[in-house]
Chain A
Amino acid sequence: KAGVTQTPRYLIKTRGQQVTLSCSPISGHRSVSWYQQTPGQGLQFLFEYFSETQRNKGNFPGRFSGRQFSNSRSEMNVSTLELGDSALYLCASSFTRQGNLSPNTEAFFGQGTRLTVV
């Protein structure tokens, strides 16, 4: 069974540009979460999607947005990039048995997209 796939693996952008990152979850998983990881702030929750609906959102500015498609694949977009957006962006997928998210939903992570803003 294929794992979570994130593309691209590495990305270099300049300030002011926008970027779109992609995440393909494990087959059968309907929940996708996004995280930003930086040395200073650690792992921070960005958003969580389930069946094309955003279920939760972290404390990030509106420049950060996401969506989920009917095949559960998800994209996140960052507009007007800033130097501080340089980070490892991790995507995680989860399987839900009854259609409801629960505390015991373990997440499987992709290898991440390393974004560098120059």
Chain B
Amino acid sequence: AQKITQTQPGMFVQEKEAVTLDCTYDTSDPSYGLFWYKQPSSGEMIFLIYQGSYDQQNATEGRYSLNFQKARKSANLVISASQLGDSAMYFCAMREADTGGFKTIFGAGTRLFVKA
């Protein structure tokens, strides 16, 4: 079963508008971390934002915010005031305990296209 689900293979947004990228996750572990990464065409994964399972408030980092709904097991990324440079693949990831350590699992990604 998929542990991280990103249902939007591709998204278009107009420059300067906000966009929400969806992510749902599945875990029975009460302690976990949720991350969003951006991967431009160069290939490097860039960390954007983190949300801990015990965090009471939604995480924010500049133009990025994470809409964390724990009961629904969703962790949607909101990008405000989109810029052309935001065009990239975006991955949702979850880090949870595994045998002897921790494992980070990534979703399939959403490709975002920002239109001028």
* Complex Cα gap A114–B95 (Å): 25
Of the candidates B31, B32, B53, B102, the one having the most CB atoms from chain A within 10 angstroms of its own CB is: B102
Q: How many residues of A contact B (CB 8 A)?
A: 27
| Of B16-24, B37-45, B62-70, the one with at least 4 CB within 8 A of chain A | B37-45
What DSSP secondary structure best describes chain A's contact surface? strand
* Complex Cα gap A35–B104 (Å): 10
* Complex Cα gap A114–B41 (Å): 13
Minimum distance in angstroms from B105 CB to a CB of chain A:
7
Chain A residues near B32 (CB, 8 Å)? 103
What DSSP secondary structure best describes chain B's contact surface? strand
Minimum distance in angstroms from A117 CB to a CB of chain B:
18
Q: Which residue of B lies closest to A49 (CB)?
A: B101
| Of A40-48, A62-70, A75-83, the one with at least 4 CB within 8 A of chain B | A40-48
At the interface, yes or no: B90 with Cβ under 8 Å from chain A?
no
At the interface, yes or no: A21 with Cβ under 8 Å from chain B?
no
* Complex Cα gap A92–B46 (Å): 11
CB-CB under 8 A for A105 and B101, given A43-B106, A90-B45, A112-B43: no
Besides the contacts A42-B109, A107-B47, what 10 more A-B pairs have beta carbons closer than 8 Å?
A55-B100, A55-B102, A56-B99, A56-B101, A102-B102, A103-B33, A104-B52, A107-B45, A107-B104, A109-B45
